[in-house]
Structure 1
């Protein structure tokens, strides 16, 4: 009996490879044997998907039978490009030059100036939609979800500087999602520019550009003076043509770019349609937010009756403000909408459910360390671990403390984070708690292999919800009680009857239970950040001033 793959939408070769644990090259070879030439990022139509899956021993079940019908009348669509890179390396300057040279700049006021989404008419045959990702931390979620709603990424690198942390994050995120990358080497007008240094550092990460015989397109540019930008656009168009982007002409599916609320218009949302056509009067469902589309505005403020894929528009009529990156679906009738809304509610406990297949043979992992030498040693240790037939799939590695970007990336790819001699920012910890991301910190490399194997064997489905952390300022011993520590709460809160860990230099050395919590000699149930408290710690005699008490529960 064949195993079953259940999907809501047509998938790419990369997706199918992940679901079946078969190499992408093998699937491409099967397609070639059928006389069909395909790329890694190309979506397989239903007939081809069924044939290839059958050859691999799988049966395909489409949850939405409409897909088969929609696939028969597909039309070409424009590509959506995301601009990524480090702050001040020239992403916005590049886009500003493209706008000035290719369109009437005054046309792009209103919503586009606020959200950084632009449709640019290159010529009579080609239009491109650009997303300029903001660098502020509040938009980290948009940046990571953004590469999932876009077709290709342009990574801008200032060659008078270096490949910075945000650049590394951008490259890893685009690679993990599986979209093509084009490198734009900016600031070639600077005298101290060293292009080969950047090419060499990319090559060290197995990112070999075409100029050096590799597969990644690149272009030297000056966003300030417009040098090389026409050639960059030509390469973007060429890459998009290879993707052979298509769309149906029926129900719209797309992503929220931004949303807001004002007294005059109520809730509004800026969207990009990825597939299908949105028509005035359609019903929209975005998670638990919904509504009827009562107005559509283009980038110039003109009202539209319908909108095709890859074009940013502003819509009116939702009953709430959806989050940036959320996926929406449209429905033509209220009856159809109500049916799907009810079905959606049944799945809301598992909103990311897409398919059923055999268990994964990979453990997705993100590694952070204090130094490059430590990072490489840690990588070597972890890549050798095979547990219950699971191999390590390294999503991302870098030096530095664990931040929001790391946690969001872990959430996107259902990954675990392992840190060596690093800390977790309070903002990152909050996101990890909310999204139940598993994070393990270590201080001694040679112990990691054993400890991680033990942890994964015994706790493969266990994570920790951190309530808070307190620092020990003083302590004393009471004969019948044991040690009582005088503490100040640094983050979150201390909660009675939670589990507790004692940590020194990020390394746990004691696990117990928080059974006694006092403020001013009064028993309390919790103590919040910034407040002092007394915590009774039993069966230990080696604590020090400065040790950290972590209150948590297992989930």
Structure 2
């Protein structure tokens, strides 16, 4: 704004502004009425010296320019003539312990299930299977445990078809229905496989109809596409069932229309997939990808300390390519296949391990390819600026709410001062401490995991905690990788327990943790980690006391006995239940009201002091309060206080 603009706003003459400029601007610059004042501090000083308050706002006639969007976005779909076939992606889902990993072990001739902690899958696994026709199929193995909901959801949203494994002995379970719901939300067809049909007493005939009804489809929905199969002896040494159908590996390809031609059944390797059928509409998907060099999109499944395992959805990726994700950026330096071999490029639908990330991206992040590392840095700066704007917006809302609350308190205090005719109010009561000591029981935890998906699953479980009124559960830090000295510093500051899931604690860090008296709990099964957290919460719940009645007596008559120069009351009673103990606690109950609670100072039977009174014996009871009076018909309860260690009501869902 110019000098004349300042004078107009202040409603002063131009000479006044020139005089003030001699004090506000020390640079010695010569001003005219049309000189533009570029320094905002000079304008502030002019306003202050003039005795006014200032507020800088934009000019009403100023044009707001839209900020250029510098973000990287996925490429639009390619033209029909530019598409080419790609291998299908098949996601195997189902309830825990229904045999998903065992079936996949039969397909790839491995024994992954034997190496899994606790006998359950806790990570998403991806591998390729070659078909006799020369084609390939990418399989995703998802965890069936209730704790890994996010992993299953990512699997359902990044696949062409879902193979739903249902154990014949269990039928449709909770995670089975959840898998069906996720597949329907992702709009992918479902292929159902009945497993464990050789168990005694299993009824396979009615299971398809029951499964369809539980899934929300009519029982006839699966009949049109069901492929009948006859069982024969299984030569596969890994098949625990002992019987199997002919190998059904090509079936998912035909169901999803992802292979160029139907492939005949492969009899060279038997699997333990028993029956296949589809649920719901026979929706078919063409699995094509663009042949051009458009942006590469990937879904992140596993997050290790250095590499990242991705499932490619669009064009192939080669070494030296770079691209941002929702968080960090990377330049592809090393590509490895699912088997661990180094490769130069990765085609679509190929599970690969990518090395070269500066930071750890989160599972489920979308990754885009850009032209250069300079462009990737520009995208990351733009995204960081957008996140900062969102944070500033949320912070401003919080600040405005606090200012409004402060203004309300100030106006209320001001009205009280005016009503009392005082310039200063006297303090009401004692002064409050500026920092209040927190004495509420709390459990502070730090979570470290081997992969981002496992950490995410643990955090999702901790988010379900709802017993904060008794014990507060606070997550102070989490991350991927081994336990580090920085974790120990945080744990020492917050008195936290470190939970290491499937990661090691280096010997030097373990020694430091022992010296600092910091507990590092290592677990490799998620439900055991949750049980450990529940035990720590239970140990912090304050102990409560409950009354344990050990005897009951009826009052027959009240006696007044001499004790020195005064008379004191004594209750003549008969024990009608249990026994009475002199060192216990007592209550006098009259009707429905308790008129006394306290102890005894004397218990006599036939004028002799005794420690206990048995059932059907009469006695005289003198209470420690001389004002405690009894009446015939009153009930005297003898009880003890017993400490009870309560348990947490938290139900994590499994």
TM-score in terms of structure 2 length: 0.41
Which TM-score applies when normalising by structure 1? Answer: 0.48
Q: Which has the higher strand share?
A: 1
